[in-house]
């Protein structure tokens, strides 16, 4: 055998060395390419993450601007579709009322910047800024000239409008609406245009709030012609009439780029060190396997760069958990805390979510899949934190799953904002009860449950009686406080399984699931009425309200939500007609009653113009002498189909739809005409009592209306007595008291009717200029049946006499009751026993007898 020569040995060695060098260089090149690829993927992933965050921020800004505009439109709706706003701004401007109820009040309540109102002739009614009315209306009108497109949009839209508009160089978010009466009230007198009310808030201020609440850096508005800055995100804004407002710009959050910049120096140093090691040890390629942990670490780091945002964790084999410093800070763990395990971390997850988190980890490992989950943990200091965790598995060289790499972000603020938005969308802002959308959702759920389980459920429709009186008389603030307390009371007397919702105004609904029979629903209705029967102490006032409740049962009376609500609504109105503090179950026959009720309301509009109203008179007698002292005017309606209707059958409709001013004005004028007729017939000494609704006397022109009727018929004012119901004594508004005092100084007397059946006391009379007090017939009837109770009646009469009040006994139906009225020293009396109400043309002011001959001839003296 020939041995290889030394040159061959050295040449072979040199060849091996060259091959080893080549392999080393090729391997090094592959490593460099791999590093470059990983860095490229990290940068691309960071870019995508930044893009996702930017789009989410853009969507949040768009939604926030839209929500702001909707909120401004809703506020304009609340303060413009309002009877008082029409009367106090358009019909007759009341600066004090405006300052306390509309523009200035809304600015103080909602933090708005300014508000304006124009009449139909485009004259500025008021201007407000900083929560106070402005005195410089001319300057304000010039400033508000830029709002002309807003006025045009509001008048043509027929609904609230909102958007963005410039005043000068300053952009504002506006809400505008036509000022008009609520449904049922007559329209305003004709005018060139419709009156409009506009509320504005500065866009810059709202953007500052948005930037602070959503943590958006550099959010501001720039002019529309501002050059584009690549580093900033932007969103064009348009004002009303498609005019450009400007461009919203902000500095987008870049969590991916931030992470890449933080890791890049370490990655570059690591790559250089690796290349140096590869160059130094290229001759020992057979030992490259020792670098396997290093390559795995590199892979884990690359994946962490791709998925991490604020903190990251690495799930190691054997339940080990490697966490970043940011994670420890997030969870509140000190740096010297010992090693963590997955089990110890899961112990911090809320118990009701712990299984979901465990299942997400398990599926990621077993199915080699990515997961994205949100949950709540308890920090080391006891606080709560909402987290979003995104992760995926990492593998060894053979593709086996070794563990999980996750990125964790604190989403507590976002969840809180989402919960706030969700609550605002589903709950009434005033009472905190479920609103109409949430009510219908729960009603549908209750219906599905009833059908599935084959049981029954009930729906209660609740309307608060006298709330409109409180709201119109004492103001919206008092009305809002009353609504809140009433809602709290009703919610407090219901079980957790029973849903109560506010669906609008003073209307509420209650869903009762799994009822056994009608008695279950009746028990709930009784509890609700009992809790509302207690007096309300609101803003220093003692208020009394009640409720009317309509009840329908499903699926017996339908399974469609809209149909059930309609049924309960119809039943509620039937209960209201039957008396306050009452409930009624729906019956299909009520639909016909409701239709007839609506038809009657429509026909009442025509009754005045067609001459269908009639004046009836009931005599009033001097108890001591039996002489005719005067009469009480009563209203009748000669209905063409239903015959003669008493006031009790239709007057509530007039009060509900605003016709009471017209109908009451007709009765007042007819009464004055009758007094003039008596004077011509030689009975000038008689006085005539005319019932007046509290709604009439609160009207700004009532005193002039009374004076006009008296002057038109030449009647002395002291012949007329205006009678108010007992309820008018409870917390009378300033307008009512002033009107009564004005009329009293002109010689017109006032009477309080039906005393003793409500909550009023004689102490309330001290506030009002009242001369006559009419004792309700129910008290006399009770005293006649129970003689032992007559002492209370005597005490009422004596106390009234001590206050210089003349007492009238009404509803005398028997001679015994007439005798009792005389015994307790009532001055006057009236009732069917003494004389029925008859048409005015049939009433004889010189009659000799009525009610079994109880009247003596009237001698013309001043009796009543």
Which residue reads 């140093």 in tokens?
269
pLDDT at residue number 299: 57
Does the pLDDT value for residue 341 go beyond 70?
yes
573's CB contacts (< 8 A; 6+ apart) are: 548, 550, 594, 597
568's CB contacts (< 8 A; 6+ apart) are: 459, 460, 461, 509, 550, 551, 552, 586
Pull the structure tokens for residue 408.
């964790």
Taking only the tens place, the pLDDT of each residue in 560-580 is 999 999 999 999 988 887 777
765 contacts 752 by C-beta, under 8 angstroms: yes
Q: Could you give the residue ranges of the DSSP H alpha helices within 81-147? A: 83-85, 95-101, 103-110, 137-143
Pull the structure tokens for residue 825.
């020293």
Q: Please give the C-alpha separations between residue 19 and each of 22, 802, 827, in angstroms, as whole numbers.
A: 5, 129, 134
pLDDT at residue number 308: 44
Listed in order, strand segments (DSSP E) in 29-119 are 114-118
Other beta carbons within 10 angstroms of residue 723's beta carbon come to 21
Among 207-211, 705-709, 734-738, the range with the most confident prediction by mean pLDDT is: 705-709
What does the mean pLDDT of the chain come to? 83
pLDDT at residue number 732: 66
pLDDT at residue number 302: 45
pLDDT at residue number 261: 72
pLDDT band of 2, cuts 50, 70, 90: very low
Does the pLDDT value for residue 757 go beyond 80?
no
CA angle 284, 288, 293 (to 5 degrees): 150
CA nearest 796: which of 816, 820, 824, 772?
Answer: 824
Does the pLDDT value for residue 8 go beyond 50?
no
pLDDT at residue number 520: 92
Taking only the tens place, the pLDDT of each residue in 254-290 is 776 677 777 777 777 776 776 677 666 666 665 555 5
pLDDT band of 9, cuts 50, 70, 90: very low
Q: What is the rounded average pLDDT of the residues 175-201?
A: 83
CA nearest 248: which of 276, 219, 270?
Answer: 219
pLDDT at residue number 621: 94
Lowest mean pLDDT segment, chosen from 4-8, 147-151, 364-368, 465-469: 4-8
Which residue reads 């006891």 in tokens?
382
The more confident residue out of 783 and 546 is 546
pLDDT at residue number 835: 92
Q: Name the helix (H) or strand (E) containing 457.
A: strand 456-465
Does the pLDDT value for residue 244 go beyond 90?
no
Beta-bridge mates of residue 645: 637
pLDDT band of 18, cuts 50, 70, 90: low
Among 315-319, 472-476, 618-622, the range with the most confident prediction by mean pLDDT is: 618-622
How are beta strands 582-585 and 546-554 bridged, if at all?
A: parallel
Taking only the tens place, the pLDDT of each residue in 579-598 is 778 999 999 888 777 777 77
Listed in order, strand segments (DSSP E) in 223-356 are 233-238, 244-251, 311-315, 320-323, 340-341
Lowest mean pLDDT segment, chosen from 336-350, 507-521, 594-608, 749-763: 749-763
pLDDT band of 547, cuts 50, 70, 90: very high
Burial class of 205 by CB neighbour count within 10 A (0 to 12, 13 to 18, 19+): middle
152 contacts 196 by C-beta, under 8 angstroms: no
pLDDT band of 28, cuts 50, 70, 90: low
Rounded-to-5 percentages of helix, strand, coil across the chain? 50, 25, 25
How are beta strands 320-323 and 456-465 bridged, if at all?
A: unpaired
Does the pLDDT value for residue 484 go beyond 60?
yes
The span from the CA of 806 to the CA of 560, in Å, is: 58
The span from the CA of 355 to the CA of 352, in Å, is: 7
% of the chain surpassing 90 pLDDT: 34
Beta-bridge mates of residue 174: 163, 200
Taking only the tens place, the pLDDT of each residue in 34-52 is 777 777 777 777 778 767 8
- Chain Cα centroid distance, residue 743: 40
The more confident residue out of 750 and 59 is 750
Among 331-335, 790-794, 843-847, the range with the most confident prediction by mean pLDDT is: 843-847
pTM over 0.85: no
Q: What is the rounded average pLDDT of the residues 461-477?
A: 84
Among 72-76, 552-556, 780-784, the range with the most confident prediction by mean pLDDT is: 552-556
Q: Please give the C-alpha separations between residue 463 and each of 34, 405, 532, 547, 771, in angstroms, as whole numbers.
A: 74, 59, 12, 6, 35
Omega cis (within 30) before 555: yes
The span from the CA of 200 to the CA of 115, in Å, is: 6
% of the chain surpassing 70 pLDDT: 85
The span from the CA of 477 to the CA of 481, in Å, is: 6
Pull the structure tokens for residue 276.
């140096």
Q: Could you give the residue ranges of the DSSP H alpha helices within 81-189? A: 83-85, 95-101, 103-110, 137-143, 148-157
Lowest mean pLDDT segment, chosen from 307-321, 429-443, 486-500, 711-725: 307-321
826's CB contacts (< 8 A; 6+ apart) are: 623, 775, 797, 807, 808, 809
**DSSP-based three-state secondary structure for 775:** strand
CA nearest 405: which of 308, 292, 267?
Answer: 308
CA nearest 532: which of 471, 579, 572, 489?
Answer: 489
pLDDT band of 687, cuts 50, 70, 90: very high
- Terminal alpha carbon distance of the chain: 158
Q: Please give the C-alpha separations between residue 380 and each of 309, 385, 686, in angstroms, as whole numbers.
A: 22, 11, 89
The phi, psi pair for 233, rounded to 5°, reads: -85, 155
The phi, psi pair for 499, rounded to 5°, reads: -95, 125
Q: Please give the C-alpha separations between residue 180 and each of 91, 189, 193, 195, 230, in angstroms, as whole numbers.
A: 11, 11, 12, 8, 49
The span from the CA of 78 to the CA of 67, in Å, is: 16
Q: Could you give the residue ranges of the DSSP H alpha helices within 158-228? A: 203-214
Sheet holding 170-178, edge to edge: 132-133, 124-129, 114-118, 196-202, 170-178, 161-167
The more confident residue out of 652 and 473 is 652
Among 97-101, 129-133, 715-719, the range with the most confident prediction by mean pLDDT is: 715-719
The span from the CA of 571 to the CA of 585, in Å, is: 6
Does the pLDDT value for residue 333 go beyond 60?
yes
Lowest mean pLDDT segment, chosen from 302-311, 451-460, 521-530: 302-311
Q: Dihedral of CA 519/521/527/528: which sign? A: negative
Taking only the tens place, the pLDDT of each residue in 660-681 is 888 999 999 999 999 999 999 9
Does the pLDDT value for residue 726 go beyond 90?
no
The span from the CA of 101 to the CA of 384, in Å, is: 42
Q: Could you give the residue ranges of the DSSP H alpha helices within 282-393? A: 292-307, 325-331, 342-346, 351-367
Pull the structure tokens for residue 66.
């839209």
Does the pLDDT value for residue 557 go beyond 60?
yes
The phi, psi pair for 397, rounded to 5°, reads: -60, -30
* Domains in the chain with CATH codes: 59-251 (3.30.450.20), 308-416 (3.30.450.20), 427-587 (3.30.70.270), 613-842 (3.20.20.450)
Taking only the tens place, the pLDDT of each residue in 141-170 is 888 888 898 988 888 888 899 888 888 888
Q: Could you give the residue ranges of the DSSP H alpha helices within 428-517? A: 436-453, 467-474, 476-492
Taking only the tens place, the pLDDT of each residue in 374-413 is 999 998 888 888 998 999 998 888 888 888 888 888 888 8
pLDDT at residue number 565: 94
259's CB contacts (< 8 A; 6+ apart) are: 46, 305, 308, 309
Question: For residues 792, 794, 796 and 799, what is the CA-based torsion angle, rounded to 10 degrees?
Answer: -130
341 contacts 358 by C-beta, under 8 angstroms: no
CA angle 398, 400, 403 (to 5 degrees): 135
The span from the CA of 654 to the CA of 604, in Å, is: 8
CA nearest 483: which of 517, 532, 521, 450?
Answer: 532
pLDDT at residue number 857: 39
Taking only the tens place, the pLDDT of each residue in 185-194 is 767 667 778 8
Q: Please give the C-alpha separations between residue 414 and each of 59, 259, 432, 728, in angstroms, as whole numbers.
A: 13, 21, 22, 52
**DSSP-based three-state secondary structure for 110:** helix
The span from the CA of 461 to the CA of 583, in Å, is: 9
CA nearest 546: which of 356, 789, 812, 727?
Answer: 727
The phi, psi pair for 573, rounded to 5°, reads: -65, -35
The span from the CA of 543 to the CA of 532, in Å, is: 11
């Amino acid at each position: 055998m020939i041995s290889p020569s030394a040159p061959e040995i050295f040449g072979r060695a040199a060849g091996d060395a060259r091959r080893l060098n080549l392999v080393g260089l090729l391997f090094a090149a592959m490593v460099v390419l791999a590093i470059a690829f990983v860095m490229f993927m990290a940068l691309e992933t960071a870019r995508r993450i930044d893009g996702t965050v930017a789009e989410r921020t853009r969507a949040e800004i768009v939604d926030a601007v839209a929500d702001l505009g909707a909120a401004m439109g809703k506020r304009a709706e609340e303060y413009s579709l309002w009877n008082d706003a029409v009367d106090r701004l358009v019909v007759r401007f009341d600066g004090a009322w405006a300052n306390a109820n509309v523009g200035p009040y809304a600015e103080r309540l909602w933090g708005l910047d300014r508000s304006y109102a124009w009449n139909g002739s485009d004259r500025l009614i008021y201007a407000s800024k900083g929560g106070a009315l402005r005195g410089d209306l001319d300057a304000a009108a010039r400033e508000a000239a830029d709002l002309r497109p807003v006025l045009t949009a509001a008048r043509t839209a027929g609904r609230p409008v909102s958007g963005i508009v410039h005043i000068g160089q300053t952009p504002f978010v506006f809400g505008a609406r036509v000022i008009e009466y609520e449904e049922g009230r007559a329209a305003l007198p004709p005018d060139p245009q419709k009156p409009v009310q506009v509320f504005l808030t500065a866009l810059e201020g709202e953007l500052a709030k948005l930037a602070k609440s959503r943590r958006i850096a550099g959010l501001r508005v720039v002019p529309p012609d501002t050059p584009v800055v690549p580093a900033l995100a932007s969103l064009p804004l348009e004002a009303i009439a498609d005019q450009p407002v400007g461009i919203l710009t902000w500095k987008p959050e870049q969590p991916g780029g931030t992470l890449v910049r933080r890791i890049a120096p370490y990655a570059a140093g690591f790559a250089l060190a690796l290349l140096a090691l590869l160059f130094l040890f290229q001759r020992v390629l057979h030992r490259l396997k020792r670098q396997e942990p290093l390559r795995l670490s590199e892979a884990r780091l690359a994946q962490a760069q791709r998925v991490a945002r604020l903190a990251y964790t690495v799930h190691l084999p054997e339940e080990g958990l490697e966490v970043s410093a940011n994670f420890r800070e997030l969870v509140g763990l000190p740096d010297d805390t010992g090693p963590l395990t997955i089990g110890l971390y899961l112990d911090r997850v809320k118990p009701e979510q712990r299984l979901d988190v465990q299942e997400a980890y398990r599926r990621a490992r077993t199915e080699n899949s990515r997961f994205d989950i949100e949950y709540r943990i308890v920090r080391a200091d006891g606080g709560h934190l909402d987290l979003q965790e995104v992760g995926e598995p990492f593998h060894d060289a053979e593709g086996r799953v070794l563990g999980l790499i996750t990125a964790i972000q604190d989403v507590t603020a976002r969840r809180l904002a989402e919960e706030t938005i969700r609550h605002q969308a589903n709950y009434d802002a005033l009472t905190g009860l479920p609103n109409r959308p949430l009510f219908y959702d729960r009603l549908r759920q209750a219906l599905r449950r009833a059908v599935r389980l084959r049981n029954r459920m009930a729906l209660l429709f609740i309307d608060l009686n006298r709330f409109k009186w409180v709201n119109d008389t004492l103001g919206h603030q008092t009305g809002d406080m009353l609504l809140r307390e009433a809602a709290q009371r009703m919610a407090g007397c219901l079980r957790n399984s029973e849903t109560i919702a506010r669906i609008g105004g003073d209307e509420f609904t209650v869903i009762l699931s799994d009822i056994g029979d009608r008695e279950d629903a009746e028990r709930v209705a009784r509890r609700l009425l009992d809790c509302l029967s207690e007096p309300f102490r609101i803003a220093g006032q003692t208020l009394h309200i009640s409720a009317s409740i309509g009840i329908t049962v499903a699926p017996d009376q339908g399974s469609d939500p809209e149909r059930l609500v309609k049924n309960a609504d119809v039943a509620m109105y039937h209960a209201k007609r039957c008396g306050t503090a009452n409930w009624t179950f729906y019956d299909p026959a009520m639909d016909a009653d409701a239709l007839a009720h609506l038809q009657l309301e429509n026909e009442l509009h025509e009754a005045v113009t067609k001459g269908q109203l009639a004046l009836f008179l009931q005599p009033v007698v001097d108890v001591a002498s039996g002489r005719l002292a005067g009469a009480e005017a009563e209203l009748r309606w000669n209905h063409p189909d239903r015959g003669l209707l008493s006031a009790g059958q239709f007057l509530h409709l007039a009060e509900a739809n605003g016709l009471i001013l017209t109908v009451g004005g007709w009765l007042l004028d007819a009464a004055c005409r009758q007094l003039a007729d008596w004077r011509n017939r030689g009975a000038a000494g008689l006085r005539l009592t005319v019932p007046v609704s509290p709604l009439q006397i609160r009207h700004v022109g009532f005193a002039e209306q009374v004076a006009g009727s008296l002057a038109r018929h030449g009647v002395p004012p002291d012949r007329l007595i205006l009678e108010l119901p007992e309820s008018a004594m409870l917390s009378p508004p300033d307008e009512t008291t002033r009107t009564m005092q004005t009329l009293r100084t002109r010689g017109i007397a006032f009477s309080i009717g039906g005393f003793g059946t409500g909550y009023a006391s004689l102490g309330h009379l001290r506030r009002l200029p009242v001369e006559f007090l009419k004792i309700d017939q129910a008290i006399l009837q009770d005293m006649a049946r129970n003689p032992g109770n007559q002492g209370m009646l005597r005490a009422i009469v004596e106390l009234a006499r001590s206050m210089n009040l003349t007492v009238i006994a009404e509803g005398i139906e028997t001679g015994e009751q007439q005798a009792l009225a005389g015994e307790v020293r009532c001055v006057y009396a009236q009732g069917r026993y003494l004389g029925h109400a008859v048409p005015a043309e049939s009433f004889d002011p010189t009659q000799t007898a009525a009610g079994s001959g109880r009247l003596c001839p009237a001698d013309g003296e001043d009796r009543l």
